[in-house]
Chain A
């Protein structure tokens, strides 16, 4: 079976230790996490963990169900790369001197669309956002000039689907409230019997 890249959007309660529970599941299945990002989601109090992993269709379905089984996980969405809009961000620290020769700065701005976020006489910090492949492409180009530091963030992604997470959450809350009311009614009924 062919391995593909998947992005998992995992919506969780804001409790300590959930990331640990998720990684335990991936570790047991020998799945490497390519990138990971955690932040608060559009819904207050709900965390969004975005994971990029490489695995098979079959396996991603299994681990997604196992992750969703974690009590504090609200919902897991599995996406292929086509179903999402995603970005990563990288920072490069370069010596200023190395970039002054030729038209390298002009080239970076025009072809790579980078931003310079700090410039001093000793060093410059360059920011690049884009897909991993674009960032790696830039990395390769900058390498001959001597990179002082390089760091790349995890993937952030939003989905192309129309239905948003908070509508799932609302449905879930409503369904469960009804369920709860039914249950209470049943309990009352049993008590009356």
Chain B
């Protein structure tokens, strides 16, 4: 194209832009990509540039008013931040990385989003199409590598395919059971031109997320529920995803059925509600675990009977008929055999179900929960959150934060004891206010996820509870906090141990502490290198005041709390044990 042609084309483009809205116009693949993202309502992208994705980043320079790009310090950080952004906003997250190592560095983050059903659109660049398959510089088969951990992926080698594939990606990521998708775009597809026109995807022949409501099954479920004497609701992440919190509350209140939640279901039901039964699973509460095996009808809503929830499957829900409301058909009858399968969206089902169930109150049954709650409170909870002497406990820190924030903060965690303490002792009041790595249990999730949550919800107080081990896995993201002055509050629960592994060594490996004790840097000093103010707490008397100072500070803040070195998270359903054999004493 000579200069004269270029000027002519540009003029035509301008004219078209001014006078006709829907006439296709020639743009580069890179520009088309950004326009598609804007069409999908994207205004924030987490990512990291590199050789193959440079045409896209170059175009971002022109679009910086419309799309904010957060440069993380590692692609894994970008992936976790994008996931966490999606979890707090309800919008799909978007994450960019270059080819080769950029793309492979995303994998942990992609797998994490996949196991926790979070919609994230990952866009990776690929080497020029004629180099694919030749082991070119920074070439990697990211389609093959990511295949088992994405809901869908595709490679784009021609610019013309970009609008359709991006539309498809957003449709697939956000509908049905959400999940991550990946689009791999070759460098030549980014630079060559296409006639840009965008149409949102509303239909894919081979993929139907909107199944007709299973009214007959719901009616049978209602009969079962109306005759139940000891019914129990197990609410999972699906309740939050389908925005069925109000329906769940109405359903529980009408039927008087106690609501237990999975870890990812936390915050779908107010923790201070009289029907709240607490968390299920390995480190869940005593009552819901124990009483799972006494319940006569279990209504599982948007959860997948993960092994951390069920314990030994042979001794799980032994007395119960199970109703499973789940949008992903492959999850039904996968781990636990169910009596009534309702393969629909949780909110749609509950809306149809509520008028069919009778007003009820299961006072005697609920009393059993309260009795167990009292036992757990006296033996486990009170000593953990209100100890009078000895070292600071993790639960105690969480409890102070919970009280001082009134349960209104968005809590992000890493993985391990810090996560279990936050899940157990923070009194969540708002939906989608608990951001954690569930299925994958990814250490290093906490710090970048705190960044993503704060970017997504700048007006909420975002607090990350992170262990000293996990913090050092993605510690470089302090650089992102510095760069964009992201006012997150980070609390390091420092026990100088990989706490959860140490707990298992203590309980099941005769206290042989192999490679779990840590020699740590001074985290407050490290934070100060990133211009992040911080404080170290080693004594109980300092704790509340230090937390108050942290909450009051306007910017980012790091609070390092030295907690009990060999603390144990209880209760515990030991591996291989039944949920009803949950232990409250080590």
Contact = CB atoms under 8 A, between A and B. Distances in A.
B172 interface: yes
Interface stretch (A97-105, A114-122, A179-187): A179-187
A71 B212 contact: no
A73 B205 contact: no
A180 B332 CA distance: 26
A46 to B, nearest CB: 9
A71 B206 contact: yes
A24 B148 contact: yes
B184 to A, nearest CB: 12
Given A62-B333, A65-B330, A184 B172 contact: no
Contacts of B496: none
Nearest to B172: A71
A24 B147 contact: yes
Contact of B330 (A21, A68, A72): A68
Contacts of B212: 175
Nearest to B328: A69
A5 interface: no
A74 interface: yes
User: At the interface, is chain A mostly helix, strand, loop or mixed?
Assistant: helix
Contacts of A175: 208, 212
A12 B206 contact: yes
Contacts of A169: 205
A61 interface: yes
B151 interface: yes
B202 A180 contact: yes
B330 A69 contact: yes
Contact of A21 (B147, B202, B328): B147
Given A13-B206, A180-B202, A180-B203, A62 B147 contact: no
A24 B333 CA distance: 20
B147 A72 contact: no
Nearest to B202: A180
B152 A20 contact: no
A17 interface: yes
Contact of A176 (B147, B152, B208, B333): B208
A69 B144 contact: no
A150 B541 CA distance: 82
A180 B209 CA distance: 11
13 contacts: A12-B206, A13-B205, A17-B144, A66-B330, A69-B328, A71-B151, A72-B206, A169-B205, A173-B205, A175-B212, A176-B205, A180-B202, A183-B210
Contacts of B143: 17
A183 B147 contact: no
A155 B152 CA distance: 29
Contacts of A66: 330
Interface string B204-231: 1111101010000000000000000000
Given A12-B206, A69-B329, 15 more contacts: A21-B147, A24-B148, A61-B333, A62-B330, A62-B334, A68-B329, A69-B330, A71-B152, A71-B204, A71-B207, A72-B152, A173-B205, A179-B210, A180-B202, A183-B202
Interface in A18-67: 20-21, 24, 28, 61-62, 65-66
Contacts of B202: 180, 183-184
A166 interface: no
Contacts of B334: 62, 65
Contacts of B151: 71
A28 B330 CA distance: 15
A17 B144 CA distance: 8
Nearest to A25: B148
A172 B210 contact: no
B514 to A, nearest CB: 30
A68 B329 CA distance: 9
Interface string B133-169: 0000000000110011001100000000000000000
A33 B308 CA distance: 31
Interface in B449-487: none
A175 to B, nearest CB: 7
Nearest to B337: A58
Sort A-B residue pairs by CB-CB distance and give the 6 closest, nearest first: A65-B330, A74-B206, A71-B152, A69-B330, A66-B330, A71-B207
Interface string A150-188: 000000000000000000010011011101100110000
Contacts of A72: 152, 206-207
B186 to A, nearest CB: 14
B147 A20 contact: yes
Contacts of B203: 176-177, 180
Contacts of B206: 12-13, 71-74
B329 A172 contact: no
Q: Which of A173, A179, A180 has the most CB of B within 10 A?
A: A179
Nearest to B144: A20
Nearest to A20: B147
Contacts of B332: 65
Interface string B328-342: 111011100000000
